[in-house]
A and B are shown apart, each in its own frame.
Chain A
Protein backbone atom coordinates (compact mmCIF):
# COMPACT_ATOMS: atom_id res chain seq x y z
CA UNK A 1 0.00 0.00 0.00
CA UNK A 2 1.19 3.51 -0.82
CA UNK A 3 2.76 4.96 2.32
CA UNK A 4 0.84 8.23 2.16
CA UNK A 5 -2.44 6.36 1.75
CA UNK A 6 -1.51 4.19 4.70
CA UNK A 7 -0.81 7.20 6.90
CA UNK A 8 -4.09 8.80 5.83
CA UNK A 9 -5.86 5.63 6.94
CA UNK A 10 -4.02 5.71 10.28
CA UNK A 11 -5.28 9.25 10.81
CA UNK A 12 -8.80 8.08 10.08
CA UNK A 13 -8.51 5.36 12.71
CA UNK A 14 -7.10 7.84 15.24
CA UNK A 15 -9.92 10.32 14.60
CA UNK A 16 -12.58 7.64 14.75
CA UNK A 17 -11.14 6.26 17.99
CA UNK A 18 -10.93 9.74 19.54
CA UNK A 19 -14.35 10.92 18.43
CA UNK A 20 -16.49 7.83 18.77
CA UNK A 21 -17.73 8.31 15.21
CA UNK A 22 -17.34 5.84 12.40
CA UNK A 23 -17.80 5.36 8.67
CA UNK A 24 -14.30 3.84 8.57
CA UNK A 25 -14.90 1.17 5.89
CA UNK A 26 -16.36 3.61 3.37
CA UNK A 27 -13.45 6.00 3.86
CA UNK A 28 -10.90 3.20 3.45
CA UNK A 29 -12.63 2.41 0.17
CA UNK A 30 -11.94 5.83 -1.37
CA UNK A 31 -8.51 7.00 -0.16
CA UNK A 32 -6.64 6.19 -3.36
CA UNK A 33 -9.44 7.72 -5.45
CA UNK A 34 -9.31 10.93 -3.41
CA UNK A 35 -5.52 11.07 -3.61
CA UNK A 36 -5.64 10.48 -7.37
CA UNK A 37 -7.98 13.47 -7.68
CA UNK A 38 -5.74 15.73 -5.59
CA UNK A 39 -2.66 14.63 -7.54
CA UNK A 40 -4.46 15.47 -10.77
CA UNK A 41 -6.34 18.68 -10.00
CA UNK A 42 -5.03 22.22 -9.60
CA UNK A 43 -5.31 23.56 -6.07
CA UNK A 44 -3.49 25.68 -3.54
CA UNK A 45 -4.06 24.76 0.12
CA UNK A 46 -2.87 28.23 1.16
CA UNK A 47 -5.61 29.74 -1.02
CA UNK A 48 -8.61 27.42 -0.95
CA UNK A 49 -10.60 29.98 -2.95
CA UNK A 50 -7.90 30.42 -5.61
CA UNK A 51 -9.93 31.43 -8.69
CA UNK A 52 -8.01 29.09 -11.02
CA UNK A 53 -8.42 25.98 -8.90
CA UNK A 54 -10.16 22.85 -10.09
CA UNK A 55 -13.19 21.76 -8.08
CA UNK A 56 -13.85 18.57 -6.17
CA UNK A 57 -17.22 17.56 -4.72
CA UNK A 58 -17.54 14.64 -2.33
CA UNK A 59 -21.00 13.50 -3.32
CA UNK A 60 -20.97 10.57 -0.88
CA UNK A 61 -20.71 12.97 2.02
CA UNK A 62 -20.57 10.26 4.70
CA UNK A 63 -16.96 9.62 3.63
CA UNK A 64 -16.14 13.01 5.16
CA UNK A 65 -13.51 11.68 7.53
CA UNK A 66 -11.58 10.23 4.59
CA UNK A 67 -11.97 13.53 2.76
CA UNK A 68 -10.73 15.52 5.74
CA UNK A 69 -7.75 13.21 6.18
CA UNK A 70 -6.83 13.70 2.54
CA UNK A 71 -7.28 17.48 2.80
CA UNK A 72 -5.02 17.48 5.85
CA UNK A 73 -2.46 15.38 3.97
CA UNK A 74 -2.41 17.93 1.14
CA UNK A 75 -2.00 20.84 3.54
CA UNK A 76 -5.44 22.42 3.92
CA UNK A 77 -5.21 22.12 7.71
CA UNK A 78 -3.16 20.25 10.29
CA UNK A 79 -3.81 16.54 10.83
CA UNK A 80 -4.23 17.16 14.57
CA UNK A 81 -7.55 18.86 13.84
CA UNK A 82 -8.91 15.51 12.64
CA UNK A 83 -9.19 14.47 16.29
CA UNK A 84 -12.01 17.02 16.71
CA UNK A 85 -14.12 15.11 14.16
CA UNK A 86 -17.81 15.36 15.02
CA UNK A 87 -17.30 17.44 18.18
CA UNK A 88 -19.77 20.20 19.02
CA UNK A 89 -17.67 23.18 17.95
CA UNK A 90 -15.42 21.42 15.46
CA UNK A 91 -15.23 22.51 11.83
CA UNK A 92 -15.17 18.84 10.91
CA UNK A 93 -18.68 17.43 11.07
CA UNK A 94 -19.54 13.90 10.07
CA UNK A 95 -20.63 15.38 6.76
CA UNK A 96 -18.64 18.23 5.16
CA UNK A 97 -19.66 21.88 5.37
CA UNK A 98 -18.34 24.16 2.65
CA UNK A 99 -18.74 27.21 4.85
CA UNK A 100 -16.47 25.76 7.54
CA UNK A 101 -13.83 23.53 6.02
CA UNK A 102 -11.14 24.89 3.67
CA UNK A 103 -11.09 22.85 0.47
CA UNK A 104 -14.74 21.77 0.68
CA UNK A 105 -16.69 23.13 -2.29
CA UNK A 106 -20.12 21.77 -1.37
CA UNK A 107 -21.89 20.75 1.82
CA UNK A 108 -23.10 17.22 1.19
CA UNK A 109 -24.68 14.40 3.12
CA UNK A 110 -27.99 13.67 1.45
CA UNK A 111 -27.05 11.21 -1.26
CA UNK A 112 -27.31 12.05 -4.93
CA UNK A 113 -27.02 15.82 -4.65
CA UNK A 114 -23.30 16.35 -5.09
CA UNK A 115 -23.00 14.86 -8.54
CA UNK A 116 -25.84 17.08 -9.82
CA UNK A 117 -24.27 20.20 -8.32
CA UNK A 118 -20.97 19.15 -9.90
CA UNK A 119 -22.74 19.04 -13.27
CA UNK A 120 -23.82 22.64 -12.69
CA UNK A 121 -20.27 23.62 -11.76
CA UNK A 122 -18.89 22.01 -14.90
CA UNK A 123 -21.50 23.75 -17.04
CA UNK A 124 -20.66 27.07 -15.41
CA UNK A 125 -16.97 26.64 -16.18
CA UNK A 126 -17.73 25.73 -19.76
CA UNK A 127 -19.90 28.82 -20.20
CA UNK A 128 -16.94 30.83 -18.92
CA UNK A 129 -14.59 29.09 -21.38
CA UNK A 130 -12.51 28.14 -18.38
CA UNK A 131 -9.90 25.37 -18.53
CA UNK A 132 -10.77 24.41 -14.95
CA UNK A 133 -12.10 20.91 -14.31
CA UNK A 134 -14.64 19.41 -11.91
CA UNK A 135 -14.21 16.09 -10.13
CA UNK A 136 -16.80 14.31 -8.05
CA UNK A 137 -16.86 11.04 -6.14
CA UNK A 138 -20.08 9.06 -5.87
CA UNK A 139 -20.83 5.79 -4.13
CA UNK A 140 -22.47 2.70 -5.53
CA UNK A 141 -25.00 2.82 -2.70
CA UNK A 142 -25.58 6.49 -3.46
CA UNK A 143 -26.30 5.47 -7.02
CA UNK A 144 -29.53 3.85 -5.89
CA UNK A 145 -30.74 7.46 -5.90
CA UNK A 146 -32.55 8.49 -9.07
CA UNK A 147 -30.99 11.94 -9.14
CA UNK A 148 -27.55 10.45 -9.81
CA UNK A 149 -28.83 9.18 -13.12
CA UNK A 150 -30.70 12.40 -13.90
CA UNK A 151 -27.44 14.26 -13.44
CA UNK A 152 -25.46 11.77 -15.52
CA UNK A 153 -28.02 12.03 -18.33
CA UNK A 154 -27.76 15.82 -18.36
CA UNK A 155 -23.94 15.75 -18.23
CA UNK A 156 -23.78 13.29 -21.11
CA UNK A 157 -26.34 15.22 -23.13
CA UNK A 158 -24.31 18.41 -22.65
CA UNK A 159 -21.08 16.49 -23.33
CA UNK A 160 -19.38 18.01 -20.29
CA UNK A 161 -15.81 16.91 -20.99
CA UNK A 162 -14.57 19.00 -18.08
CA UNK A 163 -16.36 16.73 -15.59
CA UNK A 164 -14.95 13.50 -14.18
CA UNK A 165 -17.09 11.24 -11.99
CA UNK A 166 -15.38 8.65 -9.83
CA UNK A 167 -17.63 5.74 -8.93
CA UNK A 168 -16.71 3.90 -5.75
CA UNK A 169 -17.65 0.36 -6.74
CA UNK A 170 -17.28 -1.35 -3.37
CA UNK A 171 -20.39 -3.51 -3.36
CA UNK A 172 -21.94 -1.73 -0.43
CA UNK A 173 -25.46 -2.36 -1.69
CA UNK A 174 -25.15 -6.07 -2.30
CA UNK A 175 -27.66 -6.72 0.50
CA UNK A 176 -30.34 -4.38 -0.88
CA UNK A 177 -30.17 -2.89 -4.38
CA UNK A 178 -26.88 -3.84 -6.05
CA UNK A 179 -25.70 -2.27 -9.30
CA UNK A 180 -23.92 -5.24 -10.86
CA UNK A 181 -22.68 -3.71 -14.11
CA UNK A 182 -21.87 -0.03 -13.52
CA UNK A 183 -19.39 0.28 -16.38
CA UNK A 184 -21.94 -0.89 -18.93
CA UNK A 185 -24.58 1.35 -17.40
CA UNK A 186 -22.46 4.50 -17.54
CA UNK A 187 -21.45 3.66 -21.11
CA UNK A 188 -25.10 3.19 -21.99
CA UNK A 189 -25.81 6.62 -20.55
CA UNK A 190 -23.26 8.07 -22.98
CA UNK A 191 -20.29 8.56 -20.65
CA UNK A 192 -16.66 7.97 -21.53
CA UNK A 193 -16.21 5.17 -19.01
CA UNK A 194 -13.07 3.50 -17.72
CA UNK A 195 -12.84 0.71 -15.16
CA UNK A 196 -9.75 0.46 -12.97
CA UNK A 197 -8.56 -0.93 -9.65
CA UNK A 198 -9.88 1.60 -7.14
CA UNK A 199 -6.79 1.18 -4.98
CA UNK A 200 -4.22 1.57 -7.79
CA UNK A 201 -3.14 5.18 -7.52
CA UNK A 202 -1.22 5.18 -10.80
CA UNK A 203 -4.08 3.62 -12.73
CA UNK A 204 -6.57 6.08 -11.24
CA UNK A 205 -4.36 9.06 -12.11
CA UNK A 206 -3.90 7.76 -15.65
CA UNK A 207 -7.67 7.37 -16.02
CA UNK A 208 -8.31 10.89 -14.71
CA UNK A 209 -5.75 12.50 -17.01
CA UNK A 210 -6.78 10.64 -20.15
CA UNK A 211 -8.49 13.07 -22.54
CA UNK A 212 -12.22 12.58 -23.01
CA UNK A 213 -14.72 13.97 -25.48
CA UNK A 214 -17.58 13.95 -23.00
CA UNK A 215 -18.22 13.40 -19.32
CA UNK A 216 -15.77 10.87 -17.96
CA UNK A 217 -16.66 8.16 -15.48
CA UNK A 218 -13.94 6.21 -13.71
CA UNK A 219 -15.36 3.10 -12.11
CA UNK A 220 -12.98 2.26 -9.28
CA UNK A 221 -13.35 -1.33 -8.12
CA UNK A 222 -12.73 -0.98 -4.41
CA UNK A 223 -12.85 -2.82 -1.13
CA UNK A 224 -14.88 -1.29 1.65
CA UNK A 225 -12.44 -1.33 4.55
CA UNK A 226 -9.37 -1.79 2.32
CA UNK A 227 -6.24 -2.13 4.47
CA UNK A 228 -7.92 -3.83 7.41
CA UNK A 229 -9.16 -7.36 6.67
CA UNK A 230 -11.43 -7.31 9.71
CA UNK A 231 -13.23 -4.22 8.43
CA UNK A 232 -13.42 -5.57 4.91
CA UNK A 233 -14.91 -8.85 6.13
CA UNK A 234 -17.46 -7.08 8.33
CA UNK A 235 -18.26 -3.91 6.43
CA UNK A 236 -21.92 -3.76 7.36
CA UNK A 237 -21.23 -4.20 11.07
CA UNK A 238 -18.54 -1.50 10.95
CA UNK A 239 -20.42 0.98 8.79
CA UNK A 240 -20.79 3.54 11.59
CA UNK A 241 -18.84 2.02 14.46
CA UNK A 242 -15.84 3.47 16.27
CA UNK A 243 -13.14 1.06 17.53
CA UNK A 244 -12.49 0.46 21.22
CA UNK A 245 -8.81 0.50 22.35
CA UNK A 246 -8.25 -3.18 21.56
CA UNK A 247 -9.92 -2.96 18.19
CA UNK A 248 -7.96 0.18 17.41
CA UNK A 249 -4.65 -1.61 18.08
CA UNK A 250 -5.78 -4.55 15.99
CA UNK A 251 -6.71 -2.31 13.04
CA UNK A 252 -3.42 -0.43 13.28
CA UNK A 253 -1.54 -3.74 13.11
CA UNK A 254 -3.61 -4.93 10.18
CA UNK A 255 -2.94 -1.65 8.43
CA UNK A 256 0.79 -1.93 9.09
CA UNK A 257 0.81 -5.27 7.36
CA UNK A 258 -1.12 -4.02 4.35
Chain B
Protein backbone atom coordinates (compact mmCIF):
# COMPACT_ATOMS: atom_id res chain seq x y z
CA UNK B 1 0.00 0.00 0.00
CA UNK B 2 2.94 2.36 0.48
CA UNK B 3 3.42 2.77 -3.24
CA UNK B 4 -0.28 3.46 -3.62
CA UNK B 5 -0.05 6.04 -0.85
CA UNK B 6 2.75 7.75 -2.73
CA UNK B 7 0.93 7.56 -6.08
CA UNK B 8 -2.30 8.97 -4.66
CA UNK B 9 -0.59 11.78 -2.77
CA UNK B 10 1.58 12.72 -5.75
CA UNK B 11 -1.47 13.01 -7.93
CA UNK B 12 -3.41 15.00 -5.35
CA UNK B 13 -0.44 17.28 -4.67
CA UNK B 14 -0.28 18.28 -8.33
CA UNK B 15 -3.60 20.02 -7.94
CA UNK B 16 -3.63 20.86 -4.25
CA UNK B 17 -0.78 23.11 -3.17
CA UNK B 18 -1.73 22.66 0.45
CA UNK B 19 -0.43 19.07 0.59
CA UNK B 20 2.86 18.63 2.46
CA UNK B 21 4.56 15.31 3.16
CA UNK B 22 6.51 14.84 6.40
CA UNK B 23 8.53 11.62 6.61
CA UNK B 24 10.02 10.09 9.73
CA UNK B 25 12.94 8.65 7.77
CA UNK B 26 10.78 6.00 6.15
CA UNK B 27 9.79 5.70 2.48
CA UNK B 28 12.58 8.15 1.68
CA UNK B 29 13.44 6.76 -1.74
CA UNK B 30 9.77 6.30 -2.60
CA UNK B 31 9.16 10.02 -2.23
CA UNK B 32 12.27 11.28 -4.03
CA UNK B 33 10.28 12.03 -7.22
CA UNK B 34 7.74 13.96 -5.12
CA UNK B 35 10.55 15.87 -3.45
CA UNK B 36 12.11 16.71 -6.79
CA UNK B 37 8.80 17.92 -8.13
CA UNK B 38 7.70 19.81 -5.01
CA UNK B 39 10.91 20.58 -3.08
CA UNK B 40 9.19 22.84 -0.58
CA UNK B 41 6.45 20.32 0.18
CA UNK B 42 8.30 17.14 1.11
CA UNK B 43 10.53 16.79 4.17
CA UNK B 44 12.32 13.79 5.58
CA UNK B 45 12.55 15.34 9.03
CA UNK B 46 14.19 12.50 10.90
CA UNK B 47 13.38 9.97 13.57
CA UNK B 48 11.45 12.19 15.98
CA UNK B 49 7.82 11.11 15.79
CA UNK B 50 6.51 13.32 18.58
CA UNK B 51 7.91 16.45 16.97
CA UNK B 52 6.66 15.35 13.55
CA UNK B 53 3.05 15.23 14.74
CA UNK B 54 3.29 18.61 16.44
CA UNK B 55 5.04 20.15 13.45
CA UNK B 56 2.20 18.83 11.31
CA UNK B 57 -0.21 20.65 13.63
CA UNK B 58 1.72 23.86 12.97
CA UNK B 59 1.47 23.26 9.22
CA UNK B 60 -2.28 22.71 9.57
CA UNK B 61 -2.63 25.95 11.51
CA UNK B 62 -1.56 27.83 8.39
CA UNK B 63 -3.88 25.98 6.03
CA UNK B 64 -1.80 23.01 4.88
CA UNK B 65 -2.90 19.36 4.71
CA UNK B 66 0.16 17.48 5.95
CA UNK B 67 0.70 13.73 5.68
CA UNK B 68 2.95 12.48 8.46
CA UNK B 69 4.32 9.07 7.59
CA UNK B 70 6.35 6.58 9.55
CA UNK B 71 6.22 3.22 11.37
CA UNK B 72 2.93 2.43 13.12
CA UNK B 73 3.83 1.90 16.80
CA UNK B 74 6.11 4.91 16.91
CA UNK B 75 3.72 7.41 15.33
CA UNK B 76 0.69 6.21 17.31
CA UNK B 77 1.60 4.66 20.66
CA UNK B 78 4.65 6.87 21.26
CA UNK B 79 3.03 10.03 19.94
CA UNK B 80 -0.43 9.59 21.43
CA UNK B 81 -0.31 12.83 23.41
CA UNK B 82 0.79 14.88 20.41
CA UNK B 83 -2.10 13.45 18.40
CA UNK B 84 -4.52 13.99 21.26
CA UNK B 85 -3.57 17.57 22.10
CA UNK B 86 -1.94 19.18 19.07
CA UNK B 87 -4.28 17.64 16.50
CA UNK B 88 -7.52 16.66 18.20
CA UNK B 89 -7.79 19.21 21.02
CA UNK B 90 -6.45 22.05 18.90
CA UNK B 91 -8.61 20.98 15.96
CA UNK B 92 -5.85 20.65 13.40
CA UNK B 93 -6.67 18.02 10.81
CA UNK B 94 -3.37 16.41 9.87
CA UNK B 95 -3.17 13.00 8.22
CA UNK B 96 -1.19 10.28 9.95
CA UNK B 97 -0.15 7.46 7.65
CA UNK B 98 1.48 4.47 9.27
CA UNK B 99 3.21 1.45 7.87
CA UNK B 100 3.77 -1.86 9.65
CA UNK B 101 0.23 -2.74 10.69
CA UNK B 102 -0.29 -5.42 13.35
CA UNK B 103 2.36 -8.07 12.58
CA UNK B 104 3.55 -6.86 9.17
CA UNK B 105 7.04 -6.54 10.68
CA UNK B 106 6.80 -9.95 12.32
CA UNK B 107 10.51 -10.61 11.88
CA UNK B 108 11.41 -7.48 13.85
CA UNK B 109 9.76 -8.71 17.01
CA UNK B 110 7.36 -7.14 19.49
CA UNK B 111 8.96 -3.69 19.43
CA UNK B 112 7.69 -3.30 15.88
CA UNK B 113 4.30 -4.97 16.23
CA UNK B 114 1.35 -2.60 16.42
CA UNK B 115 -2.17 -3.69 17.32
CA UNK B 116 -3.42 -1.12 19.86
CA UNK B 117 -3.21 1.90 17.54
CA UNK B 118 -6.81 1.89 16.30
CA UNK B 119 -8.25 1.06 19.71
CA UNK B 120 -6.42 3.99 21.27
CA UNK B 121 -6.92 6.53 18.52
CA UNK B 122 -10.65 5.87 18.21
CA UNK B 123 -11.02 7.19 21.76
CA UNK B 124 -9.84 10.67 20.76
CA UNK B 125 -12.51 13.26 19.94
CA UNK B 126 -12.63 14.26 16.24
CA UNK B 127 -10.24 11.47 15.21
CA UNK B 128 -11.00 9.48 12.08
CA UNK B 129 -9.55 5.95 12.09
CA UNK B 130 -9.27 4.14 8.79
CA UNK B 131 -8.04 0.62 8.08
CA UNK B 132 -7.98 0.14 4.32
CA UNK B 133 -7.61 -3.48 3.33
CA UNK B 134 -6.28 -2.96 -0.17
CA UNK B 135 -4.60 -0.40 -2.41
CA UNK B 136 -7.89 0.54 -4.02
CA UNK B 137 -9.51 1.12 -0.66
CA UNK B 138 -6.56 3.26 0.42
CA UNK B 139 -6.78 5.38 -2.70
CA UNK B 140 -10.51 5.93 -2.21
CA UNK B 141 -10.18 6.82 1.46
CA UNK B 142 -7.26 9.21 1.03
CA UNK B 143 -9.06 11.11 -1.69
CA UNK B 144 -12.18 11.26 0.46
CA UNK B 145 -10.63 12.30 3.78
CA UNK B 146 -7.23 13.98 3.44
CA UNK B 147 -8.77 17.43 3.73
CA UNK B 148 -11.70 16.55 5.99
CA UNK B 149 -10.66 19.06 8.64
CA UNK B 150 -10.34 16.29 11.22
CA UNK B 151 -7.21 14.37 12.14
CA UNK B 152 -7.26 11.18 10.10
CA UNK B 153 -5.34 7.96 10.69
CA UNK B 154 -4.59 5.82 7.64
CA UNK B 155 -3.26 2.42 8.66
CA UNK B 156 -1.26 0.96 5.78
CA UNK B 157 -0.36 -2.69 5.44
CA UNK B 158 2.05 -4.49 3.13
CA UNK B 159 -0.25 -7.51 3.10
CA UNK B 160 -3.58 -6.31 1.76
CA UNK B 161 -6.44 -8.63 0.83
CA UNK B 162 -7.10 -9.46 -2.85
CA UNK B 163 -10.80 -8.61 -2.94
CA UNK B 164 -12.48 -5.71 -4.66
CA UNK B 165 -14.61 -3.92 -2.09
CA UNK B 166 -16.18 -0.57 -3.03
CA UNK B 167 -15.56 1.22 0.25
CA UNK B 168 -16.82 4.58 1.38
CA UNK B 169 -15.73 6.58 4.41
CA UNK B 170 -17.85 5.79 7.45
CA UNK B 171 -19.69 2.96 5.75
CA UNK B 172 -19.41 -0.78 6.18
CA UNK B 173 -19.89 -3.23 3.31
CA UNK B 174 -22.22 -6.21 3.35
CA UNK B 175 -20.21 -8.79 1.46
CA UNK B 176 -22.67 -11.60 2.05
CA UNK B 177 -26.21 -11.55 3.40
CA UNK B 178 -27.87 -14.94 3.23
CA UNK B 179 -30.28 -14.29 6.07
CA UNK B 180 -28.11 -16.44 8.30
CA UNK B 181 -28.38 -16.45 12.07
CA UNK B 182 -24.68 -15.65 12.39
CA UNK B 183 -22.87 -12.56 11.06
CA UNK B 184 -19.11 -12.35 10.77
CA UNK B 185 -17.70 -8.84 11.06
CA UNK B 186 -14.12 -7.99 10.15
CA UNK B 187 -11.94 -5.13 8.95
CA UNK B 188 -8.84 -4.45 6.90
CA UNK B 189 -6.35 -6.88 5.36
CA UNK B 190 -7.43 -9.91 7.43
CA UNK B 191 -10.50 -10.01 5.19
CA UNK B 192 -8.54 -12.32 2.88
CA UNK B 193 -8.26 -14.98 5.59
CA UNK B 194 -11.84 -14.44 6.73
CA UNK B 195 -13.27 -14.81 3.23
CA UNK B 196 -11.35 -18.03 2.76
CA UNK B 197 -12.44 -19.31 6.17
CA UNK B 198 -16.15 -18.75 5.74
CA UNK B 199 -16.49 -19.35 2.00
CA UNK B 200 -19.24 -21.97 2.18
CA UNK B 201 -20.37 -21.46 5.76
CA UNK B 202 -23.91 -20.26 6.50
CA UNK B 203 -22.94 -16.81 7.72
CA UNK B 204 -23.47 -13.22 6.73
CA UNK B 205 -20.30 -11.19 6.25
CA UNK B 206 -19.85 -7.49 6.99
CA UNK B 207 -16.62 -5.63 6.30
CA UNK B 208 -15.37 -2.31 7.67
CA UNK B 209 -12.62 -0.07 6.35
CA UNK B 210 -13.58 2.74 8.73
CA UNK B 211 -13.17 1.98 12.43
CA UNK B 212 -14.19 5.47 13.49
CA UNK B 213 -16.82 6.61 12.86
CA UNK B 214 -18.13 3.05 12.87
CA UNK B 215 -21.16 2.36 10.70
CA UNK B 216 -23.74 1.79 13.43
CA UNK B 217 -26.57 1.54 10.93
CA UNK B 218 -25.12 -1.53 9.26
CA UNK B 219 -24.48 -3.15 12.65
CA UNK B 220 -28.09 -2.48 13.67
CA UNK B 221 -29.26 -4.39 10.59
CA UNK B 222 -27.66 -7.53 11.98
CA UNK B 223 -28.39 -7.04 15.67
CA UNK B 224 -30.84 -9.98 15.66
CA UNK B 225 -28.01 -12.33 14.67
CA UNK B 226 -25.07 -13.72 16.62
CA UNK B 227 -22.13 -11.44 15.71
CA UNK B 228 -18.70 -13.01 15.40
CA UNK B 229 -15.86 -10.48 15.18
CA UNK B 230 -12.61 -11.60 13.59
CA UNK B 231 -9.79 -9.05 13.69
CA UNK B 232 -6.01 -8.96 14.00
CA UNK B 233 -5.94 -5.78 16.09
CA UNK B 234 -7.85 -4.09 18.86
CA UNK B 235 -10.42 -1.47 17.96
CA UNK B 236 -13.06 -3.09 15.78
CA UNK B 237 -14.67 -5.06 18.60
CA UNK B 238 -14.78 -1.95 20.80
CA UNK B 239 -16.24 0.09 17.94
CA UNK B 240 -18.96 -2.49 17.26
CA UNK B 241 -19.91 -2.31 20.93
CA UNK B 242 -20.91 1.33 20.39
CA UNK B 243 -24.18 -0.33 19.42
CA UNK B 244 -25.57 -1.61 22.72
CA UNK B 245 -27.03 -4.99 23.61
CA UNK B 246 -25.54 -7.09 20.84
CA UNK B 247 -24.66 -10.78 21.06
CA UNK B 248 -20.98 -10.70 20.21
CA UNK B 249 -18.06 -13.12 20.34
CA UNK B 250 -14.59 -12.26 19.15
CA UNK B 251 -11.64 -14.09 17.69
CA UNK B 252 -8.86 -11.62 18.24
CA UNK B 253 -5.52 -11.25 19.91
CA UNK B 254 -4.16 -13.02 22.99
CA UNK B 255 -3.25 -11.06 26.13
CA UNK B 256 0.44 -11.57 25.57
CA UNK B 257 3.25 -10.25 23.39
CA UNK B 258 3.80 -12.21 20.20
CA UNK B 259 7.40 -13.17 20.76
CA UNK B 260 7.95 -15.08 17.54
CA UNK B 261 9.50 -13.82 14.30
CA UNK B 262 8.99 -15.12 10.77
CA UNK B 263 6.24 -13.52 8.70
CA UNK B 264 2.82 -12.08 9.35
CA UNK B 265 1.42 -15.39 8.15
CA UNK B 266 3.45 -17.29 10.74
CA UNK B 267 2.18 -15.04 13.53
CA UNK B 268 -1.40 -15.25 12.33
CA UNK B 269 -1.18 -19.04 12.35
CA UNK B 270 0.35 -19.02 15.84
CA UNK B 271 -2.51 -16.95 17.23
CA UNK B 272 -5.25 -18.80 15.31
CA UNK B 273 -5.96 -16.11 12.73
CA UNK B 274 -4.99 -18.20 9.68
CA UNK B 275 -7.88 -19.34 7.44
CA UNK B 276 -8.02 -22.86 8.90
CA UNK B 277 -8.09 -21.71 12.51
CA UNK B 278 -10.67 -19.03 11.78
CA UNK B 279 -12.83 -21.64 10.05
CA UNK B 280 -12.57 -24.04 13.00
CA UNK B 281 -13.59 -21.28 15.40
CA UNK B 282 -16.50 -20.24 13.21
CA UNK B 283 -17.70 -23.83 12.88
CA UNK B 284 -17.66 -24.27 16.65
CA UNK B 285 -19.60 -21.05 17.07
CA UNK B 286 -22.09 -22.11 14.41
CA UNK B 287 -22.60 -25.46 16.13
CA UNK B 288 -23.11 -23.75 19.46
CA UNK B 289 -25.62 -21.39 17.91
CA UNK B 290 -27.55 -24.30 16.39
CA UNK B 291 -27.56 -26.17 19.70
CA UNK B 292 -28.69 -23.05 21.50
CA UNK B 293 -31.56 -22.62 19.08
Contact = CB atoms under 8 A, between A and B. Distances in A.
A107 interface: yes
Interface string A109-150: 110110011111111111110000000000000000011001
A117 B81 contact: no
- Residue of A106, A122, A158 ringed by the most chain B CB atoms within 10 A: A106
A151 B85 contact: no
Nearest to A121: B58
A99 interface: yes
A142 to B, nearest CB: 13
Contacts of B82: 113, 116, 147
Contacts of A128: 62
A120 B90 contact: no
B59 A107 contact: no
Interface in A147-162: 147, 150-151, 153-154, 157-158
A128 B59 CA distance: 11
Given A110-B85, A119-B55, A127-B41, A150 B50 contact: yes
Given A121-B58, A151-B55, A116 B89 contact: no
Given A121-B61, A127-B64, A116 B90 contact: no
Interface of A: 98-99, 105-107, 109-110, 112-113, 116-128, 146-147, 150-151, 153-154, 157-158
Contacts of A117: 54-55, 57-58, 61, 86, 90
B43 interface: yes
B270 interface: no
Contacts of A106: 57, 61, 86, 90
Given A120-B57, A121-B59, A146-B50, 13 more contacts: A98-B90, A112-B50, A113-B54, A116-B86, A117-B57, A120-B54, A120-B58, A120-B59, A124-B61, A127-B41, A147-B82, A150-B50, A154-B51
Interface in B36-66: 40-41, 43, 45-46, 48, 50-51, 54-64, 66
A156 B159 CA distance: 38
A216 B79 CA distance: 27
A128 B40 CA distance: 9
A122 B59 CA distance: 8
A124 B58 contact: yes
8 contacts: A106-B57, A116-B55, A117-B57, A120-B57, A120-B66, A123-B59, A124-B63, A127-B20
Given A113-B82, A113-B85, A120 B48 contact: no
- Residue of A98, A99, A124 ringed by the most chain B CB atoms within 10 A: A124
A151 B90 contact: no
Given A99-B91, A113-B86, A127 B50 contact: no
Contact of B51 (A107, A121, A126, A150): A150
Contacts of A124: 58-59, 61-64
Contact of B62 (A99, A121, A146, A150): A121
Which 8 A-B residue pairings sit nearest by Cβ, starting from the closest?
A120-B58, A116-B54, A124-B62, A120-B55, A150-B51, A150-B48, A121-B58, A117-B58
Contacts of B85: 107, 109-110, 113
Interface in B81-114: 81-82, 85-86, 89-91
A151 B64 contact: no
- Residue of B54, B82, B90 ringed by the most chain A CB atoms within 10 A: B54
Contacts, number: 91
B58 A153 contact: no
A157 B55 contact: no
A151 B46 contact: no
B157 to A, nearest CB: 28
Contact of B54 (A105, A126, A151, A153): A151
A150 B59 CA distance: 17
Contact of B46 (A119, A123, A125, A154): A154
B48 A153 contact: yes
Contacts of B55: 116-117, 119-120, 123, 151, 154
Contacts of B56: 120
- Residue of B20, B55, B86 ringed by the most chain A CB atoms within 10 A: B55
A161 to B, nearest CB: 15
- Residue of B48, B58, B90 ringed by the most chain A CB atoms within 10 A: B58
B46 A157 contact: yes
Contacts of A151: 51, 54-55
B129 to A, nearest CB: 22
Contacts of A98: 90
Nearest to A115: B54
A189 to B, nearest CB: 13
Nearest to A99: B91
Contacts of A120: 54-61, 66
A56 to B, nearest CB: 12
